Structures are given as C-alpha cells and as structure tokens.
Amino acid sequence: MVDKKESGKSYSSKNIKVLEGLEGVRHRPAMYIGSTSKNGLHHLVYEVVDNSVDEAMAGYCDKIEVTLNKNGSVTVKDNGRGIPVEPHPIYKKPALEIAITKLHAGGKFDKGTYAVSGGLHGVGISVVSALSKHMIAKVRRNGKIYQQEYKIGKTLCNLKIVGKTDKDDTGTEITFFPDDTIFPTTEFDFNVLQTRFREIAFLNKGVRIILKEEKTGKKETFHYEGGLEEFVKWVNKTKDALHKPIYFTKTNNGVVVEVAVQYNSGYQENVLGFVNTINTVEGGTHVVGFKTALTRAINDYSNKNKMTKNGNLTGDDVREGLTAIISVKVPEPQFEGQTKTKLGNSEVKGIVDSVSMVSLSEFFEENPTIARRIVNKALDSQKARNAAKKAKDLVRRKSAFGGSGLPGKLADCSKKKSEETEIYIVEGDSAGGSAKQARNNQFQAILPLRGKPLNVEKASPIKVFSNEEISNLITAIGTGVGEQFDAQKLRYSKIIIMADADVDGAHIKTLLLTFFFRFMPELIKNGNIYIAVSPLYRVRKRGDHYVYSDEELKEIKKKLGENASVLRFKGLGEMDPEQLWDTTMNPKTRMLKKVTIEDVVQADEVFSKLMGDDVSARKQFIAERSAEAQIDI
C-alpha cells in the first residue's frame, strides 16, 4: 500500500509548472508536430506553406516559392495579402507579432478572413517559431516592407520598416532555422517536400509552387490547370487505365466536394483523401462517404441492367483497381490531432455520400460503356472474393474440429499476448530449421517459406488467396485482409522478414513487402513490419566479429590487420543456431529496420513500376538508377 503522507511530501504547489507562451511547445513538441523525427522536421515547412495555401484557397495568392538555403534555413515566400502588421486592438502589438508568438492566434479563427483553412488550429506558424533558433518574417503590404525577427518563439526586435515596394506587390516571406537541440537532424529532404507540394498544386488548380535547393541547384515547379483530373491520371500513369477520369464537384451546405475517379486493369485500391488540401492519410468521414456512395451507385446500375447474378457487390469488389481522389473543403473541420491525419466531422459523410451518389449515377447513365466496364471488373472481383471466402471457411472448420487452424510449418511461441511476441518470416526450410533452433521459443515464432513468394502485384486475388504460402502467412498473422482486416486480432506485434543478404534475399524481401503494402497496409502504418539485418561477413581474429557492410569490413580489417580471416556468408542456413541468435535474433544485439510509408502515392508508383506488368517502365526506372546499383561479386 502506498503511504500517501510520505508520497505527498514530494507533490506540492512547487511541482505545478506553468509553461508560459510557447514554452509548452518546446516542452512537448510531438503534441504539435507529431514527432521530432524527420517527419516532424518537414511538418514545420508544411505549417508555413499551409498559411500561403490558405491565401490561395481564399483567392489572393497564386505563387508560392520554397527555398532550401545553403545555411540550413528554409524560406517560404508568397504573393498573398501579407500578414497584417497593424497594432492588434487588444494586445496593442503588431498583428504579425501576435500571430507568430502566441499559440492559437491567427486569421483562421475569424470566419470573415478564411472560409476554409488547412491551418485551422491557428498554432502553425507560432509552433514553427517556438521550434526555430532563429526566424525572420518579412511582410510586403501597403507599399512597404516590414520585418521582425524571433528566437525560440520570442521577439528579438520591434517590427521595423526595411524598404519600399509597389503597392500591388504584397505577400509574406518567412525564413526559419530549425532548432538542432530539438531535432536530431535538421537536414531537409527535397524529395519529401516535392511530394507534398505536388499534391497541393494538384488540389489547387492554377497555383504555382516553386521548390529550390541552393546546395544542389535542384528546382521543380508544380502547376496543374487540370487539377484533380490531372492528379488521378498522374497516379495511374504506370498502370493501364480503363477509361477517362470521372470528375465532379459540388458545394453542399458550405462544404465543397471535389472527386476524380479512374479504374485501372490492376487489382489494387488507391483512395486518397484530402481536407482543405491536407492529406488525411488515415481517411475519415469524407472517404467513408465516398466509398459508401460508390458501392451503392455501382450496385444500383448493375441491378437495374440485370448484370448481377450472385448477390450485391461488396465494397472490396467495387474498389478493385480503383484510383480515387476525394478533396473536400470544410469551413470547420474536426481533425484528430494537430497533424490532421483523420477527419471526424459526421455531417461530411452524408454530404460526400449524397453528392457522389448523384454524380456517379448520372455519369453511369450517360456513359454506359464505361459503366459496364467498371461493373464487369467488380463482378470478376466478386468471384475472387467468393473463392477466398471458401479458403477462409476451410480454416474456420479446422478450428471448429479442435485444431489450431494455424499452418503446420509454423513454430509458434508459448506467450500469447501479441505485444510480447514476434514472428520471423524466414526464407527456405534450411534457414527455418536454424531459426527454430536459435530462437527463444517463449516469444519468437518462426514461419519458413518455401521458394519465392507470389508476386501479388501481377496476380489476381483468386491466385493470391489460393496460394499456400500466402494463405499460411495470412493465417499466422491473424488479422485477415481487406474489409475483414482487424488489427485487434494481430497475433504478433513484430512481423520480421529474415532473408539472405544477397540478390535473391533482396527479391524475397521485396515480394513480401509488396504483399504487405497491397493486402495489409495497416500493419506498415502501425509499425508492425520489420526487416532483419543479417551479417555479410564474419571476421575471425581474437574472437569472431560480425560485419554488416563492405565499409564496415574495411574499417575492421584496418583495426585487426590483414592476417584476419574473412568469411562471406552466402545464406542464413550457413550459420549455426548460436551465430544466428547472436547476429540476427537476439533483441539485445540484433539490428532491425522498421518499414514505414512516407508517401503513399510514391510508394504505389514504385511498386507498380518494379513489380507490375509494364516492362518498359521498369527498364527505364532501372536505367535511370543504374549508377546507384551496388554489385556484389
């Protein structure tokens, strides 16, 4: 029992800390930008750019320039109206200073300023200021150029006029240096930023975004007059599109709904949702509303034209091969958290559903050839679903008769709580045998795979679900796939791919990652998928030293001298169980790579190019990157 009198001595008024101004942001930055990792660092740029985008959505800005400066800072410049500089009526300080130094201050809270806004919370630029060791704000307004500087959210000087400009030349320019005491790395990635800016340009037709990197001289301009129709064609550029894009837009109760749809001949679903240009990677009510309407509209058309034979089509059926962009502009969006990954407004579901149902039904009536093509694709998917259901029912029947229903090759662990367990997916029976001997059977399960896994990018769902190795994998993981996916049924918190450190091993890893990305993407998003890093060499001198790269080998040979014995491992099966445990399976000594998705659109494109049917696109991809290839002789 806790002695409350004793414990109370250390808990008094002096333990209650009041965080003034922006101190709370520096104390808990992840609450505001998601993390202090690479993602959080880039989020700073997005917050500043979102302010310029809000000006664009309001009709006052059509050009945004983002420059990665040589000195490590970032400059974002727009031609909007410029943040107001006049004294605030209550605080008696320039409005610019209030917006940058006070949390929850800004034009986002005044409905007359912005009808819709991505930066709804009003914490964006002030959070960037709090997490920057230096920030310079310049405003072009009223024919003058105003400037003020800040350090970790506090003003360094009063607002001053530093020049004159033409009265028609207006806008805001923000330069900030991220604080290296907050962020482990402060180096920005051009490729990560260009992905987001491409999205913004697609979502705001006519807006021009220029991204420049001084150090390398790279420059990209994003400008799309076609908007979402161009976006959906761009996403499908490596696929065989079945028809011209279906596009519609309508405003309902102040909510602007804009949708572009295009099916391809593949089997994968790619639905991207945006709210006020923010990519809602976890979806939300707008995505649910669209999916519901799509299923209903296709079933209505199918039934009306007597195309359905085996009951109504499901959501999984109608979304096979679908690429869709759903962009909504909502006056008062309710996001889950400051990083805005999921929309929660319940009313938006009904609005998107209603608009999509009417628009899709009209399109199908006016374009019967396309409508029949889409319905026939969904009917093919239905056949595959029924085949998959039979396979699942077979597993259930096994369980009902007292068996575990788990694959016979699976060497399961004794612990049952998923948060305490992990499964190694191992290449080949010989490596699987070594892994079974090497493991700690309390928390480590082993599933050996025979041969190379099926390339699900090219295979139909019928072939995927009837494949024994894939079926074993799905059963062992326990979550199910597609609409039946349930994260609560995950049997292991870590799913670890362990393959040889050679070309074949790399191919097996890629095939398995393709499967997870296409059929269980939630496991990647939730951080459950890992890749084991197995050693390339064993260097023997005064004991065994395991080496994981050629660079590391050079270093250790220098250190130990040239009489050192070097063994190149050709496969996991060559290692005895003790070596395998020490190098690849012992949680205290092993190295694991966590698999993450930084950009869903780019990941989809890469998987389509490298694993799909388009040979010419794959050849071009390889040729462009041949200089980066490492050949192991």
The mean pLDDT value of the chain amounts to 86
User: Residues 380, 502, 522, 574: which is the catalytic one?
Assistant: 502
- Please tell me the predicted confidence (pLDDT) of residue 207: 94
- pLDDT given at position 9: 41
Q: Please state the rounded mean pLDDT for residues 190-207.
A: 92
Q: Is 180 labeled as catalytic in the residue annotation?
A: no
631 or 124: whose pLDDT is higher? 124
Claim to verify: residue 77 and residue 116 sit in the same structural domain: yes
pLDDT of residue 628: 64
Question: Is there a domain that residue 15 lies in?
Answer: no
List 214, 504, 578, 598, catalytic entry: 504
Confidence band, pLDDT 50/70/90 cuts, at residue 624: confident
Q: What is the mean pLDDT of residues 203-223?
A: 95
Least confident stretch, 60-64, 208-212, 334-338, 478-482: 334-338
Domain-located, residue 169? yes
Task: Say yes or no to pLDDT of 417 above 60.
Answer: yes
- The reported pLDDT for the residue numbered 5 is 37
pLDDT score, position 246? 98
- Reported confidence tier of residue 3, pLDDT bands at 50, 70, 90: very low
Rg of the chain (C-alpha set) = 28
Report the alpha-carbon distance of residue 467 to residue 216 in Å, rounded: 47
Residue 66, Cα to own-chain centre: how many angstroms?
A: 22
Residue 260 clears pLDDT 80, i.e. is over it? yes
**Cβ(370)–Cβ(308) below 8 Å:** no
Average pLDDT on 33-37 reads: 84
Residue 398 is assigned to a structural domain of this protein: no
Residue 406: pLDDT band with limits 50, 70, 90? confident
Whether residue 212 is found in the same domain as residue 256: no
- Between 564 and 301, the more confident residue is 301
Q: Is residue 207 located within the same domain as residue 62?
A: yes
Contact call for residues 235 and 334 (beta carbons, < 8 A): no
Asked whether 328 and 203 are in contact (CB, 8 A), the reply is no
Asked if residue 195 and residue 80 are part of one domain, the reply reads: yes
Kindly report whether the global pTM for this prediction surpasses the value 0.85.
no
- pLDDT range class, residue 90, cuts 50, 70, 90: confident
Query: Same domain, yes or no, for 121 and 269?
Result: no
Residue 392 counted as domain residue? no
DSSP H or E stretch at residue 554: helix 550-560
Q: How many CB atoms lie within 10 A of CB 7?
A: 9
Task: Find the CATH number of the domain harbouring 493.
Answer: 3.40.50.670
pLDDT band at 114 (very low <50, low <70, confident <90, very high): low
At 390 the pLDDT is 65
- The model's confidence at residue 35, banded by pLDDT at 50, 70 and 90, is confident
Residue 378 confidence (pLDDT): 94
What is the per-residue pLDDT for 118?
A: 54
Burial call 440-466: b when 16+ CB within 10 Å, e when fewer: eeebbbbbbbeeebbebbebbbbebbb
> Which of 96-110, 565-579, 608-622 has the least mean pLDDT?
96-110
- Mark whether 345 and 237 lie in a shared domain: yes
Arithmetic mean of pLDDT, 98-127: 62
Is residue 352 domain-shared with residue 213, that is, in the same domain?
A: no
42 and 168 assigned to the same domain:
yes
Q: H or E element: which one contains 358?
A: helix 346-366
Structural domains counted in the chain: 4
For the segment 158-189, what is each residue's pLDDT rounded down to a tens digit? 999 999 999 899 999 999 999 999 999 999 99
Whether 483 shows a pLDDT value over 90: the answer reads no
State yes or no: is 550 an active-site residue.
no
pLDDT greater at residue 520 or residue 632: 520
The mean pLDDT value for 587-612 works out to 88
- Check residue 496 and give its pLDDT: 97
The whole domain housing 508 covers 406-534+569-597
Among residues 229, 427, 469, 604, the one annotated as catalytic is 427
- Look at residue 363 and tell me whether its pLDDT is greater than 80: yes
> Given 174, 200, 222, which residue is the final one in a domain?
222
Lowest-pLDDT range of 22-26, 367-371, 425-429, 469-473:
22-26
Q: What is the mean pLDDT of residues 504-526?
A: 92
For residues 290-299, average pLDDT = 97
CATH number for the domain spanning 43: value is: 3.30.565.10
Say which CATH number the domain at 236 has: 3.30.230.10
Other C-beta atoms closer than 10 Å to the C-beta of 185 total: 12
In a domain, 541, yes or no: no
What percent of the chain stands above pLDDT 70? 88
Structure tokens at 288: 């649910």
Looking at the structure, tell me whether residues 134 and 43 fall in a common domain.
yes
Tell me: do 183 and 89 sit in the same domain.
Answer: yes
Tell which of 171, 205, 222 closes a domain: 222
Same-domain status, 149 and 180: yes
pLDDT number for residue 154: 92
Q: Contact at 8 Å (CB) between 148 and 125? A: no
Give residue 630's pLDDT: 60
Residue 612 in domain: yes
Please work out, in degrees rounded to the nearest 5, the angle formed at the alpha carbon of residue 67 by the alpha carbons of 62 and 71: 160
The confidence band for 444, taking pLDDT boundaries of 50, 70 and 90, is very high
What are the tens digits of pLDDT across the range 445-462? 999 988 889 999 988 777
pLDDT reported for residue 631: 53
User: Among the three residues 222, 237, 254, which one is the final residue of a domain in this structure?
Assistant: 222
Active-site residue, 504 included: yes
What distance in Å separates the CA atoms of residue 262 and residue 229, rounded to the nearest whole number?
9
pLDDT given for residue 169 in this prediction: 94
176 and 253 belong to one structural domain: no
Is residue 393 annotated as part of the catalytic site, yes or no?
A: no
pLDDT at 39 over 50: yes
Asked whether residue 349 carries a pLDDT value surpassing 80, the answer given is: yes
Of 93, 55, 90, 79, which is closest to residue 141 (Cα–Cα)?
79
Say which range, 205-219, 245-259, 395-409, 530-544, has the weakest mean pLDDT.
395-409
